[in-house]
Amino acid sequence: MDAWSDGEMKNFRFYILDFRLKTSKLSWVILNIFLLLIVSSCTNTEELRKRELAEERKTFFAKYEAEFNPSDYPEEDYPDTIPEVKTDSVQEEIPMEEMISGFRVQVYLSENIDSAKIFFQSINPKLETEWVYMVYDAPLYKIRVGDFQDRVGATETMNALIQMGFANAWLVPDKVRKFPPEKPFQEFYSPVDTMKQE
């Protein structure tokens, strides 16, 4: 058996290492070429699809324009001038609602809009003369009553609401209507009555 000398062994190891390096470089080159082909084929497919869509549009519009006949549609006669509208009545100017600093009585507070709506619908008909407002001040829905320019009127209404059973009523400063219109009559109904099971 021939033994390899140290020099031959070193040469053999060098050739093996050199072969591995060359094959790994070659595999990297092949992998990069493969990835480049995949990317370029995707780009070509996308461009091809765009071209196909453009051709379809051209074909559609060419066909539509070829079949379109304007004489199939009636000719509309538009007047050259617009007739002036004359009114005999004097138009009444409607003033904008003026808002001022004042007070309201807050009777309810909730994060849930549905419960706030139910409460609003139940209290609004009970108060025949006072306006009821639902105010959203993130994340809370607040039910407030009245448009009071002074604390005295607001306190009287707050005490009346407490006697009606709204124990958590309290005064809050708010922007109120200076001249609130008269509240229209609303028939009272209980939202609970509408939820009865048959």
User: Which residue carries 């990317």 as its tokens?
Assistant: 39
State whether 63 and 116 are in the same domain: no
Is 92 inside a domain boundary?
no
Read off the pLDDT band of 162 (50, 70, 90). very high
Report the distance separating Cα 21 and Cα 38, nearest Å.
Answer: 26
Residues 122, 186, single domain; the answer is: yes
Distance CA 44, CA 50 (A): 10
65 lies in the same domain as 103: no
Residue 198, pLDDT above cutoff 50: no
With respect to residue 91, please indicate whether it lies within any of the assigned structural domains: no
**Per-residue pLDDT tens digits for 174-195:** 999 988 888 876 554 444 444 4
* Same domain? 131 vs 186: yes
Using the predicted structure, report yes or no on whether residue 122 has a pLDDT greater than 50: yes
- E-assigned strand segments in the chain: 99-110, 132-137, 140-148, 170-177
Let me know if residue 44 belongs to a domain. yes
Lowest mean pLDDT among 33-47, 87-101, 131-145, 154-168: 87-101
CA distance 33 to 39: 10
pTM over 0.75: no
Q: Domain for residue 63, yes or no? A: yes
Q: Average model confidence (pLDDT) for the chain?
A: 77
Q: For residue 137, give the nearest of 167, 154, 116, 166 by alpha carbon.
A: 116
Instruction: Tell me how far apart the alpha carbons of residues 171 and 114 are, in angstroms, rounded to a whole number.
Output: 24
* DSSP 8-state secondary structure symbol assigned to residue 172: E
Whether 84 is covered by a domain: the verdict is no
- The CA distances from residue 26 to 29, 32, 74, in Å, are 5, 10, 75
- Parent domain of 22: 1-70
The structural domain count of the chain equals 2
In terms of domains, do 106 and 178 share one?
Answer: yes
In a domain, 88, yes or no: no
106 and 144 housed in the same domain: yes
Find the mean pLDDT for residues 148-152.
94
